[in-house]
Chains A and B, each alone.
Chain A
Amino acid sequence: MLLPDFGKHGQEQLKNAKVLVVGAGGLGCPVLQYLGAAGVGTIGIIDYDMVDITNLHRQVLYADDDIGKLKSLIASEKIKANNPFIKTIIYNLSLDATNAQKIISEYGIVVDCSDNFETRYLINDACVRLNKPFVYGGIHKFEGQLSVFNHQMKDGTLSPTYRCVFPEGQEQEMEINCSISGVIGILPGIIGTMQANEVIKMITGIGEVCAGKLIIYNSLYNTIVEMKIKRKT
């Protein structure tokens, strides 16, 4: 709040914002933690999974005592313990074609912290239909991707979508999530924090949103590559 260009007005914008976080895993934990701490007024949490011992190195909202409990519930408790002034809405379910549009329509911004391509395309298609922006994060071993899709740019045009970058193809062959390939625990922390940063910029209008480009971060070599992307008409 003390920051220039942010102030009381920025804090009020955060309080009035409604953000949906799809997936409360490696990416979702830092996103939820920082958005809650920042004071985003309403945060939706979608996850049907339960905490497993193999999650703990990267899903840092959860403790050993939480093993076997619902992630959505524990995540909500933890971020509200940090900031009791926020409201959370818990969805203990899997986002699918029957519920995606209804749930997403309730929010201003969606954060894609999912771990499979089916959900990523589902989020994309629902957000495009509903004209909502969404913050994409994806990780593989030591690399992470970030972009803000379907975001209204300053000139009024919409930024590219997930499908503009990755048309549907052989995803089944390469759906290797962190449980299968392994991931260094810090990487989702870095990419998730970058996603939360984009959300805060989008809500408050400060800085430049990571739209129209795909960022690829490599945690082994500390490199960031920025690829230009275009909206397909």
Chain B
Amino acid sequence: MKVLLFGVLIDAIGEKTIEMDTSPDANSLKENLMLKHPILRSYNFVIAINKQIDYSDMTINEGDEIALLPPFAGG
């Protein structure tokens, strides 16, 4: 499962996308992300599934488009 990164998360990981095993829902994806990339624990971000920001531990299906969105401080 391909996960798209934005903003400071690209700087943190050094890639624009990361490959993850499929997780059943947003919360378990977040846990798996932290295990695989512990540096993400230091960052504030939200998960978007199919361009919808997750508010309620949404289910993830094979082929869903996953993105990690941090806020941007700069102005």
Binding site for B on A (CB under 8 A): 23, 25-28, 112-117, 120, 137-141, 143-145, 162, 165-171, 173-178, 181, 183, 188, 214, 216, 225-230, 232
Indicate if B38 sits at the interface (CB-CB under 8 A).
no
Q: Which of A169, A173, A177 contacts B74 (CB 8 A)?
A: A177
On chain B, the number of residues with a Cβ less than 8 Å from chain A's Cβ atoms is 22
Known: A143-B7, A227-B48. A138 touches B71 (CB 8 A): yes
Q: Is the CB of B75 within 8 A of A145?
A: no
CB-based contact B51/A228 at 8 Å? yes
Contacts of B73 in A (CB 8 A): 115-117, 120, 138, 140, 171, 174-177
Q: Which residue of chain A is the closest to B72 with respect to CB atoms? A: A138
In the assembled complex, the Cα of A217 lies from the Cα of B48 at a distance in Å of 16
B46 at the interface (CB under 8 A from A): yes
B69 within 8 A of A: yes
Q: B43 to A178, Cβ gap below 8 A? A: no
Judged by a CB distance under 8 angstroms, whether B28 is at the interface is: no
Tell me which residues across on chain A come within 8 A of B75, comparing CB atoms.
23, 25-28, 112-115, 137-139, 177-178, 188
1/0 per position for B34-75, CB-CB distance to A under 8 A? Answer: 000000011110101001110100000000000101111111
Chain B residues near A112: list those with CB within 8 A.
75
Which of B72, B73, B75: most chain A CB closer than 10 A? B75
Beyond A143-B7, A166-B46, 18 extra complex contacts between A and B, CB < 8 Å: A113-B75, A115-B75, A138-B71, A139-B74, A141-B11, A165-B46, A165-B53, A170-B42, A173-B44, A174-B44, A174-B70, A175-B73, A177-B74, A177-B75, A188-B75, A225-B67, A227-B51, A228-B51
Q: Is B8 an interface residue (CB 8 A)?
A: yes
Chain B residues contacting A188 (CB-CB under 8 Å) are 74-75
Q: Mark B1-34, 1 if CB is under 8 A from A, else 0.
A: 0000011100100000000000000000000000
Task: Kindly provide the distance from the CB of B72 to the nearest chain A CB, expressed in whole angstroms.
Answer: 3
Contact of A174 among B8, B48, B52, B55 (CB under 8 A): B8
Tell me whether B72 and A227 are in contact (CB under 8 A).
no
